[in-house]
Structure formats: structure tokens, C-alpha cells
Amino acid sequence: MDKTTNIDLSVVVPRLRQWAEESAQQLPPRVDRKWVHKHREDNVFVSRFEQIDDDHPDDFIAQLFIDKSHSFFFEHPLDHVPGLMLIEAGRQLGTTVAHVAYDVPLDDTVFILNGMQVDFSSFAELDVPVFVNSSVSEKQFKRGALTEMYYYGNFVQNDQAIGYMAGRWHIYSKRAMARMRRGAIRSK
């Protein structure tokens, strides 16, 4: 088992290698920008993701979309993928998983990332695909809707974990968020 997920990395390596081979032939896809709450496609850093299998409904693998021409993350020459880009990709992946795998509605939700841990043990090389092996735990539901989750996973390159990221997401309706913000303003 790798550092943070429930799934041994060796279990998912064959699928990651398949995706790497596909990416060598053509540019990988990107998830729809609506899943990551972005207006512009060039700011989408999740290529694809899938559930490990039916026996592990809270375990996922993903491929990241690393755009070396991105005007913010590559505004100066770099020989590695910027850590902040990986962090944003991890945030986007958590949001995507919540919407797609746990049916969190798109139009009436606000995601708050409360608490995050990140640790890199190696650089992410530019010309090698970056993947994520991840798990969701500590899910909380209210009236059948996901309201909280802990999402954690390893960034993977060349069949090895190169770092991990973990965070706690709280998911609110827009109305509940507006109520909380009004209360915070009044208490000042």
C-alpha cells in the first residue's frame, strides 16, 4: 500500500501504464470544465479519472493534464511541473470526484477546502505523465447528500509515488453558505 491510499499502487500500475501509452499517441482528454468549477478549459488540469473497481467504491485513479504552455504556471522556463499546479489539479480532482462519483449537484453547491496537507518527495518531470492514486473517507451525509469528505492520494510518476495531498472538503448549498456568511459578517 502506498503512503496514503487504501489501494496498493501495484494494483493500479497496469491501468496507469495503459493511459501513459495512450497519451504518448495523442494528447489526453480533459474532464469537462463544469466538474472543476472553471470557466476556461485551459485551466482544467484533470484529464480523466475512474473508480478502481466495484469492490472499492471510494478509491480512484486519475491522470492529470499538464499544459506546459499555461501562462500562469509556466510564466518562466521550468524543468519540472510546478507544485502549485499539482495542488490545483488535486483540488480539481476532489471536486470532480464529489460531483461525478457522489452525485453532488453542480448548480447549488459551494465547496470549501478546510485543511490541506501536501508533501512532495520528488520532482514531477515535465515529459512524463502524472497520475493520482486516491481514496475518499470520512464521508458525511445530510438528507442523502454528501456534505463532507476527506480526500487523499498520491501523485504518481514512473510507477512511483512522488508526493501526496490530502484535504477535507465541506460541501454546502448556496443558501446555507449565504446564511453562514451573513452570520460571520454580523459577528464582527
Going by the DSSP 8-state scheme, the letter that residue 16 receives in this structure is H
How far apart are the C-alpha atoms of 150 and 167, rounded to whole Å? 6
In a domain, 77, yes or no: yes
Look at residue 181 and tell me if it is in a domain: yes
Percentage, residues of the chain above pLDDT 70: 95
**Which has the closest alpha carbon to 169: 150, 145, 142?**
150
Range of the domain at 13: 9-186
Instruction: Assign 162 a pLDDT band (cuts: 50, 70, 90).
Output: very high
Q: What is the pLDDT of residues 67-121, one digit of tens each?
A: 998 899 888 878 899 999 999 999 999 999 999 999 999 988 999 999 999 999 9
Q: Please give the tally of structural domains in the chain.
A: 1
Report the C-alpha gap between 180 and 112 in whole angstroms: 12
Question: Can you give the pTM of this predicted structure?
Answer: 0.91
Domain membership of residue 3 (yes or no) is no
pLDDT band, very low/low/confident/very high, at 3 (cuts 50, 70, 90): low
Tens digit of each residue's pLDDT (9 = 90 or more) over 17-42: 999 999 999 889 999 999 999 999 99
C-alpha cell at 29: 482528454
In a domain, 2, yes or no: no
Confidence tier at 152 by pLDDT (50, 70, 90)? very high
> DSSP for 55-67?
TEEEEEEEEE---
Q: Domain holding 161: CATH number?
A: 3.10.129.10
Positive or negative: CA dihedral 83, 120, 113, 9: positive
